[in-house]
Amino acid sequence: MPALFSRFHVDLLLLLVAATWGSTYLVAKELVTPHSVVALLALRMLLAASLMAAIVAARRNRITAAELRAGVILGMVLAAVFAFETFGIANTSATNAGLIISLTIVFTPILDSAVSGRRLPGRFFLAAMIAISGVALLASDGVFQAPSLGDLLILGAAIIRAIHVTSMFSLTGNTPMNSLHLTTVQLATCATLFSAASLFYGDSIPHFLANLDPGRAVLFIYLVLACTVFAFLVQTWAVRRTSPSRVSLLLGTEPIWAAIVGITIARDTVALAGYIGIALILAGTAWGRSLEHGHRHNERAGDMSSLRAGGRSRASSSQV
């Protein structure tokens, strides 16, 4: 019973993280304008990186050279994700942003398959097409028209996010690294890039701060503390207490929360075709996640069987 109760707490916190991430798009939508995107990102990353660095310092652990190198490279890719995503949010609805970004779930295995040479089951590509068709319906609301600039930017963010995930595996797969250190370096890299960019584009950081009224200031603090620092710390803590597949499953509910928040709180208007698109996105991404997880599990089981068979063969040869 205590173990079950503990697992319930882990699941509840992971669902809270997913809901928090689902609300990010509405919060950012309330805070950002096309001219304040860079200043918002610079300040968000500066505060988040500072808090993460304080946690690292409190643990009295040193960031290794390997963690620093990988973190800087990944941080540059992550900065591109944040830039595309936030500029996209400024030009589309919170509902569209939260659902289109979920295509990362199908883009990542496709990119990983192309890089590693491992084949995906054919049904996975059917799931991907279902999800992409849903995005087309949602973005056009059933009318044959080009998607908005914001929708295209969010789509670009989903592709770059898939690159970020794939790069993380290739850069850190063979070297033990502390995930807290790696994320701190990534956020610090983002903070440096956006702070430098804010000197040349859009509103400055002081100008952005001066225009924050009390209500928007609360939303900004929520964006930094809940959507960035809290979410990462819970994710890191939960991975040690449950299975990676369970973490992926629970955090994969993010687009559902984004749709709920966008439609009920932001009052985003969605036509019937849009609702069909939402259903297709959720169905396609959930099916794709399930297929990819099952395929990876079968591959690992096959590798283990081959190893055992090889071991038995070597043992038989030695007996002869």
Domain boundaries, the chain: 2-120+145-268
Torsion of CA 30, 32, 33, 37, to 10 degrees: -170
Report d(CA 270, CA 281) in Å as an integer. Answer: 14
Q: How confident is the model at residue 315 (pLDDT cuts 50, 70, 90)?
A: very low
Mean pLDDT of 50-69: 91
What was the pLDDT predicted at 143?
A: 62
**Could you report the per-residue pLDDT of 182-201, keeping only the tens digit for each?**
889 999 999 999 999 999 99
- 39: pLDDT strictly greater than 90: yes
Give percent of the chain with pLDDT exceeding 90. 35
User: Tell me, what's the pLDDT at 310?
Assistant: 54
Phi-psi region of 141 (alpha: psi -120 to 50; beta: other; left: phi over 0): left
* pTM of the model as a whole: 0.82
Q: Report CA dihedral (282, 284, 285, 286) to the nearest 10 degrees.
A: 80
Least confident of 41-55, 168-182, 192-206, 278-292: 168-182
Among 171-175, 219-223, 252-256, name the one with the lowest average pLDDT. 171-175
Q: Which phi-psi region, left, alpha or beta, contains residue 212 (left: φ > 0; alpha: ψ -120 to 50)?
A: beta
- Helix, strand, coil in percent for the chain, rounding step 5: 80, 0, 20
Token pair recorded at residue 2? 């205590």
User: Does residue 119 contact residue 113 with C-beta atoms inside 8 Å?
Assistant: yes
Q: Scanning the structure block, which residue is given the tokens 């509902």?
A: 95
pLDDT for position 4: 47
Where do we find the tokens 């502390």? 178
Taking only the tens place, the pLDDT of each residue in 113-152 is 888 777 888 888 898 898 888 888 877 766 656 778 999 9
Instruction: Single out the residue of 94, 113, 88 nearest to residue 21, CA to CA.
Output: 94
Fill in the amino acid letter for 98. Answer: G
Residue 30 burial (CB < 10 Å; 0-12/13-18/19+)? middle
Can you tell me the distance from the alpha carbon of 11 to that of 250, in angstroms, rounded to the nearest whole number?
7
E strands along the chain, which residues?
Answer: none
Report pLDDT for 248: 66
**Average pLDDT of the residues in 261-287:** 85
pLDDT at 22 over 80: yes
Query: 152-186 burial, b if ≥16 CB within 10 A, otherwise e?
Result: bbbbbbbbbbbbbbbbbeebbeeeebbebbbbbbb
Angstrom distance (rounded) from CA 209 to CA 203: 10
Tell the residue number behind the tokens 């040349």, with chain if given. 200
Residue 9, judged by CB atoms within 10 A of its CB (0-12, 13-18, 19+), counts as: exposed
Task: State which amino acid sits at residue 262.
Answer: G
> Token match 């044959």: residue?
144
